[in-house]
Structure 1
Amino acid sequence: MFCFQCEQTAGCTGCTRAGVCGKSAMTAKLQDTLTGALIALANTAACSSKNSNNNLSASLANEINHLILEGLFATITNVNFDDASIKNLTARIHAAATKTANACNVSIVSDYYMNNIWNANEDIRSLKSLILFGVRGMAAYAYHAMTLGYTDASLNQFFLTALDSLSKDWGMNELLPIVMEVGRFNLTCMELLDRANTETFGDPVPVSVSLTVEKGPFIVVTGHDLEDIKQLLEQTKDKGINIYTHGEMLPAHAYPELKKYPHLKGNFGTAWQNQQKEFASLPAPILFTTNCLMPPKASYEDRVFTTGAVVFPNTPFISSSTDGHKDFTPVIEKALELGGFSKDQHFTGINGGSSVMTGFARNAILSSAGEIIDAVKSGAIRHFFLVAGCDGARAGRNYYTEFVKQTPSDSIVLTLACGKYRFNDLDLGTIGAFPRLMDMGQCNDAYSAIKVAVALADAFGCGVNDLPLSMILSWYEQKAVCILLTLLHLGIKNIKLGPTLPAFLSPNVLNYLVEHFAIAPVTTPEADLKEILG
């Protein structure tokens, strides 16, 4: 096997025997075969679009779009480790490619072997990896929007274009523009998901979330999919079962259509990489809805229920009907069977805090834009830091905790994604009416951060790069890749990235990013703060 798509890849170069994430060599091979099938499908669809005899039906086009999202999502780190389901999905993709070829009278390009990417010139491999990993992350966001009934034709077409480019014998001049296009289209994708979430569940509002788990039956929901937790909340009301979020599901508490359920009680646990420890003795079932997961251990896999794109061996799967409904009865019955804790359990964050806040999305912050601008002009707010991104297990991530602790008292720290669990239970105090630490939501809510930055730049009559704003980002998997490409597409410079730089960046590609965007690795909190603040 060869895989270097996540931050924890072995030796910072690539996993070749088994994945650090827990992925076996066989599963990695099957995922590569699936990816090759996706590239073949995209190539066939691209040929059909150029063919004057194009007879693709609307139903086949929709099937292709759905398979592209499902297939890309399945290959994100820690989403699908079930070999049988990967084979089944690959067969469905092959069948769609055959139907496409027959409908349009074109030939199917034989499966594109991933070795042709991995063994290419290192610069070509690097650029194709950026494209592939970027669209994998983007597909996750598009998949979430799709489950809520929101799609975009230009996005669907770009997924095909990007995948088709991986089959081409192109050089850096042809591939670099595709890389930047991933960033552009991911901005469209995040906007689509933001609209899907806010039009379905309302605009997030700031809320304090308890870390206490009350006695009695309960269910923990982890991942990102808000529709899943909505359906679960509806099916568990008046049943004496409390619901707790975990990881990237924390921002669910801020959406009006979700927070209205009184049995959505609080948040349990911290970030994804701690799941095997935190779930080991939990007297409750856990619902896995998307990525940012750890493969369940045998000791509790019977308490883990997967759904959507997530499939792990030996875990019960909750399927979806054609109208999107999911029957969570098995999860509910397991919660009642296990019974929960016999008395309230008072948990804390990693810094000892008993609660965390979330809900500072773009509308919540921009509604106070006037006061924020006045605070900047008066000197009450000297600097903004966006300390955001993925968490992970590699040593060195305490950098982000220490960085936030050392930010000056006249600065605001914005955060999003699961990297916030390193510090989101800290009490940094306030500047006037504003808490110094504001959680903007999930990783896809980088869209909120972008909108806030653009609004502030407009208010001050300057560019985003001229604002007193610094971005200190952590990455782990492919959604972080597409967000980084979006920031680069917007021309944002001087981003600090860590805890390590991606192994798939060749020296020449890295030099390009440094030269054009001044991207740099994190060093130490003290040195980086000194450089930023002068």
Structure 2
Amino acid sequence: MEKMFCFQCEQTAGCKACTGNAGVCGKPADTAGLQDILTGALIGIARAAQENTPADDATRAIIEGLFVTVTNVSFDNEAIRGYIDSARIQKEQLDKGASDYDLKELWRENEDIRSLKSLILFGLRGMGAYAYHALVLGYTDDEVNSFFYKALYAIGENTPADKLLELVMETGRINLKCMEMLDKANTESYGHPVPTVVPLTIEKGPFIVISGHDLLDLQLLLEQTKDSGINIYTHGEMLPAHAYPKLKSYPHLKGNFGTAWQNQQKEFADIPAPVLFTTNCLMPVKESYRDRIFTTETVGYPEMVHIGDNKDFSAVMAKAKQLGGYAEDRVMTGINGGTQVTTGFGHNTVLGVADTVIDAVNTGSIKHFFLVGGCDGAKPGRNYYTDFVKQSPEDSVILTLACGKYRFNDLDLGTINGLPRIMDMGQCNDSFSAIKVAIALADAFGCGVNELPLTLVLSWYEQKAVCILLSLLYLGLKNIYIGPTLPAFVSKNVLDVLVEKFALTPISTPEQDLAKILNIQ
């Protein structure tokens, strides 16, 4: 088997690259190779579209193909081959003479060129996931779609470094627009999130756990399980779904199962219920629960039952009834022992109490805001984020989002003037909410966002975190703390540019970073 080369996620081997027979994520080398071929085929579509107008099917092939290559989405070689075939069909319909790109050329590039192209490519993969979620709800954007072609084409050409750096920033700009589109898709489809307490206890009887980000899949599952006696529990990034009025109106959407994605192999062991994965993060499946894992959308794993476009979840329901659930209510807790969590503090909710927030700042009740969030992961050192939040001053507010919140979202830090000190703003794409709130507060105080008493402390793992970071940099946000390690695909020279221009800062210890942020001598 040919060795792999992959360094797109935070846990890459030795903080350099996975180059053996399998990646740290569990992805075999042949799967990594197929993902590279798929990416090359997507660049082939972009090449074919230079002189031809692509059809919607070509754009969908690009969006799906990018999503499939995100970390922990698909381990299914046959499914990936299907995406490759679809991409090549779309390419040939545009231009039979257009060639695919060999991604090995990218991995052999000059280090700085490779770094810039990787920032663009991995940003596109994350943005592809967001565009996909909007697309299934019927939302699309011509500028976002056009950029996929433009950026993919540039990756496959001898594009100079200065132009690539411009494209890096443009990736951030377009991703911001993509996240805004997804925010509109979600809120117009399901209503604006409202603060909602979510129990972690699993009630007795049959249940289904649904993981991932796809709200449409959750809605369809809720509809099909209505009046069936089967309860539904979210997992991972699906937690914020509880806050959407249309989804929370289903009484059998009961609570949340477990914690963040990296704990699934332990938490799903012998679970008496099926688990439906709608997006990443799926880890290699263990024997103790492999007969109860179902996938849908772009998620794939060998020998697992995949629910196709017909969205018939009857097999999942049958498995739930067969397994029966727990005989008695099962009290589960978060990482810190809490038995419930709260979500639903999107931009509509927070800006709805903007006067209270502004007054609290003006009177000194709130002295600082921390946005502590991003992807969680398995690598040691991520307890930094738990300790950071625990040590944050009592006159500070913690905004959070994405699965990184599981490090501390079950803590009770109390309130300030009736405002909870921890506010969960949603999924990773709800970074748009945080950005919208920050801009609104800056306008209210008559200052720039960088002058606000606001510090971003981010954790990253996969490619959606990359495109979010690029959006923050595009907006000019400075002094962002990032960890637990820096991306392996960012070269020293490119990192120096980011540090010089944006003061991008690696995390150290909670004590040192808090002292620096708050100017504590």
| TM tier relative to shorter chain | over 0.9
**What is the number of equivalent residue pairs in this alignment?**
515
What's the counterpart of residue 440 of structure 1?
Answer: 425
* 1:389-404 pair list within 5 angstroms: 389-404=374-389
Letter in 2 for 1:41: I
What's the counterpart of residue 98 of structure 2?
Answer: 108
1:78 and 2:81 equivalent?
no
What's the counterpart of residue 506 of structure 2?
Answer: 521
Q: Output the CA distance in 1 between the equivalents of 2:395 and 2:26.
A: 43
Contact 1:127 1:172 in 2 (8 A): yes
Deviations, residues 322-366 of structure 1 (Å, cap 9, x unaligned)? xxxx11110011101110000000001010001000000001110
1:13 and 2:2 equivalent?
no
Contact 1:349 1:425 in 2 (8 A): yes
> Structure 1 segments of 4 or more deviating over 2 A?
none
Percent of aligned pairs with the same amino acid = 65
What's the counterpart of residue 226 of structure 1?
Answer: 215
Q: Output the CA distance in 1 between the equivalents of 2:247 and 2:470.
A: 31
Q: Which moved more, 1:93-102 or 1:156-165?
A: 93-102
What's the counterpart of residue 242 of structure 2?
Answer: 253
What's the counterpart of residue 363 of structure 1?
Answer: 348
Q: Output the CA distance in 2 between the equivalents of 1:235 and 1:346.
A: 27
What's the counterpart of residue 46 of structure 1?
Answer: 50
* 1:88-127 pair list within 5 angstroms: 88-102=82-96, 107-109=97-99, 111-127=100-116
Q: Output the CA distance in 1 between the equivalents of 2:36 and 2:376.
A: 25
What's the counterpart of residue 147 of structure 2?
Answer: 158
Q: Output the CA distance in 1 between the equivalents of 2:37 and 2:156.
A: 14
Equivalent position SS for 2:399? strand
TM score, norm. by length of structure 1:
0.96
Deviations, residues 45-67 of structure 1 (Å, cap 9, x unaligned)? 1232xxxxxxx5xxx61110100
Q: Which moved more, 1:281-290 or 1:60-69?
A: 60-69
What's the counterpart of residue 5 of structure 2?
Answer: 2
Q: Output the CA distance in 2 between the equivalents of 1:41 and 1:219.
A: 39
Give the CA deviation at 1:302: 1.7
Match of 1:489 among 474, 478, 489: 474
1:193 and 2:182 equivalent?
yes
Q: Output the CA distance in 2 between the equivalents of 1:142 and 1:443.
A: 13
Match of 1:167 among 143, 150, 156: 156
What's the counterpart of residue 327 of structure 1?
Answer: 312
Q: Output the CA distance in 2 between the equivalents of 1:526 and 1:468.
A: 18
Give the CA deviation at 1:167: 1.1
Letter in 2 for 1:96: Q
Q: Output the CA distance in 1 between the equivalents of 2:282 and 2:500.
A: 35
Q: Output the CA distance in 1 between the equivalents of 2:201 and 2:88.
A: 48
What's the counterpart of residue 33 of structure 1?
Answer: 37
Give the CA deviation at 1:524: 0.4
Q: Output the CA distance in 1 between the equivalents of 2:23 and 2:493.
A: 26
Give the CA deviation at 1:291: 1.0
Give the CA deviation at 1:298: 3.0
5+ unaligned residues in a row in structure 1: which ranges?
Answer: 49-55
Letter in 2 for 1:188: K
Letter in 1 for 2:11: Q
What's the counterpart of residue 493 of structure 2?
Answer: 508
Match of 2:411 among 423, 426, 436: 426
Letter in 2 for 1:463: G
Match of 2:168 among 168, 179, 184: 179
Q: Output the CA distance in 2 between the equivalents of 1:488 and 1:435.
A: 28
5+ unaligned residues in a row in structure 2: which ranges?
Answer: none
Contact 1:276 1:297 in 2 (8 A): yes
Q: Output the CA distance in 2 between the equivalents of 1:78 and 1:298.
A: 18
Letter in 1 for 2:431: A
Q: Output the CA distance in 1 between the equivalents of 2:333 and 2:289.
A: 23
Contact 1:302 1:314 in 2 (8 A): no
Q: Output the CA distance in 1 between the equivalents of 2:83 and 2:378.
A: 30
Match of 2:396 among 406, 411, 430: 411
Letter in 2 for 1:352: G
Give the CA deviation at 1:293: 2.1
Contact 1:206 1:357 in 2 (8 A): yes
TM score, norm. by length of structure 2:
0.98
Contact 1:182 1:486 in 2 (8 A): yes
Letter in 2 for 1:260: S
Q: Which moved more, 1:497-506 or 1:165-174?
A: 165-174
